[in-house]
Amino acid sequence: MDLAFSNDDLAFRDEVHTFVKAHLPADIAESVRRGRPIAKADIQRWQLILYNRGWAAPGWPVEFGGTGWNATQRYIFDEVMAEFDTPETIPFGLLMVGPLIYTFGTDAQKERFLPKILNGKEWWCQGYSEPGSGSDLASLQTKAVLTGDHYLVNGTKTWNSSAHIADWTFCLVRTSSEGKQQEGISFLLIDMNTPGIEPKPIISIDGAHHLNMTYYTDVKVPVANRIGEENKGWTYAKFLLGHERNSITEVGLSKQRVRRLKSIAEEERTGGKTLLDEPDFAGKLADAEIALTTLEYLSLRFLAEEAAGRPIGAEASMLKIRGTEIRQQLTELTIEALGYYAAPFEMEQMSDRWNEPSIGPDYAAAQMPQYLFSRAATIYGGSNEIQRNIIAKMVLGL
């Protein structure tokens, strides 16, 4: 057992440090620091910078354009990315469908899709949930009927983050109603510009438009866009959910959140001192920091296992549960820190066009939307209750 970094690791850290410091655009860092929503164009701009350096996909194998880094290097990279205010990785392409395509896709699919995921040119969204299929995902009803060399897709998908700005979607569709529900599902990659696809906004409690309900009416999808075999889509979806569970651990992001929270608590005053010096608040903050350190070492253990060639099983659900709980703990503490200034909800303050003085402290406006949207974290990606079901069954054998 050893936590020490080798000289190579330390040199690597310096390299990443120097690069990010020199190349992270100041305006993007400022927006991240203030907790503003980051525009698609800004995320693409940063992604391209990483791509040109060869660092677009830390978790991918070299042969598909990844870095091939070992667990330690990936840890160091994440640490440095969190240390600076870099925008969060949009998971759908790089963390979800990308690994699925290089694992199960055809050569043609790899060639067609992977490069544009890496350079950020193509934006992906997920088409899983339906109005009648939430946690019970396998009950999904969106139908795909094979007609010659293409499928005809009809149905409704929901909770599609970014569907209104995405170029492609990866979609679970029903190709058979025989046998078990899970055995009649296929996995399709669908061009969002295909006629018959219509995303409609769902405004969430944070007042923003992240989510969509997407209607599919006689949408033609080439058979060549199916991943793997027909009716085996559930297997691929499960593989992908495993990836998602790892990625929503968000250790680096939560470290950013702790830093932001501390700087807010240093400004806010109570009883003549800063909130940071108020013992009850300081205790809650320490509690959250310790929880985060625990999550960090838990995820490092998984990372080390993976690096040693032992694939992670359903235990990864723990990372999703704790990662999302801690995110909520931190966003909750942040609005608690704001006191009354959690209340002003002038959404225009978040836009570039706002040039009046801020209402209350300038760090306040972004925090309530973040708190509100963080409530989704324990629901999406398989709700935390579903994750507990998974651990109970797969790990504990209950």
**Of the residues 63, 79, 178, 244, which is catalytic?**
244
Q: Least separation, in Å, of the C-beta of 300 and another protein?
A: 7
- Find all residues with CB under 8 Å of 236, minimum gap 6, and list them: 100, 104, 187, 227, 228
Pick the closer one to another protein by CB: 49 or 295: 295
| Angstrom distances, CA of residue 265 to CA of 36, 110, 127, 153, 197 | 19, 48, 40, 51, 46
267 in catalytic set:
no
Of the pair 27, 385, the CB lying nearest another protein is at: 385
- Minimum Å gap between C-beta 183 and another protein is 25
The nearest distance, CB 237 to another protein, in angstroms, is 22
* Minimum distance, C-beta of residue 313 to another protein, in the bound complex (Å): 13
CB of 48 to another protein, least distance (A): 30
Query: CA-CA distances (angstroms) from residue 102 to 175, 192, 238, 240, 256?
Result: 23, 21, 16, 12, 31
Nearer to another protein by Cβ, of 282 and 359: the residue is 282
Three-state SS string over 91-141 comes to HHHHHHHHHHHHHHCCHHHHHHHHHHHHCCCCCEEEECCECCECCCHHHCC
CB of 321 to another protein, least distance (A): 7
Please list, in sequence order, all residues whose beta carbon lies within 8 angstroms of the beta carbon of residue 207, skipping any fewer than 6 positions away.
Answer: 345, 347, 369
Longest dimension (CA), the chain: 75
CA 68 vs CA 57, 73, 151: distances in Å: 9, 9, 36
Look at residue 36 and give its three-state secondary structure. coil
Question: How far apart are CB 366 and another protein at their closest, in Å?
Answer: 26
Rounded to the nearest whole angstrom, what is the least distance from the CB of residue 3 to another protein in the complex? 4
> Checking DSSP bridges between strand 273-274 and strand 185-191, what pairing results, if any?
unpaired
Q: Tell me phi and psi for residue 215, to 5 degrees.
A: -100, 135
Nearer to another protein, 184 or 323 (CB): 323
Identify the residue whose tokens are 């046998």. Answer: 179
d(CA 333, CA 148): 56
Nearer to another protein, 267 or 277 (CB): 277
Structure tokens at 168: 């492609």
- Structure tokens given for 277: 């010096």
Query: 192, 277, 178, 284: which is closest to 231 by C-alpha?
Result: 178
**Which CB atom, from 311 or from 397, has the smaller least distance to another protein?**
397
Closer of 297 and 354 to another protein (Cβ)? 297
Site residues (CB under 8 A) for another protein? 1-5, 71-72, 75, 279, 282-283, 285-287, 289-290, 293-295, 297-298, 300-301, 304, 308, 315, 318, 321-322, 385, 388-389, 391-392, 395-398
Joined together, the tokens standing for residue 360 give: 């209350």
N-term to C-term CA, the chain: 32
Q: Which is nearer to another protein, 379 or 391 (CB)?
A: 391
- The values of phi and psi at residue 366, to 5°, are -80, -15
Place of tokens 């969002």: 192
From CA 107, how far away is CA 115, in angstroms rounded? 13
Q: Report residue 340 as tokens.
A: 């009354």
Would you name the residues annotated as active-site residues? 244
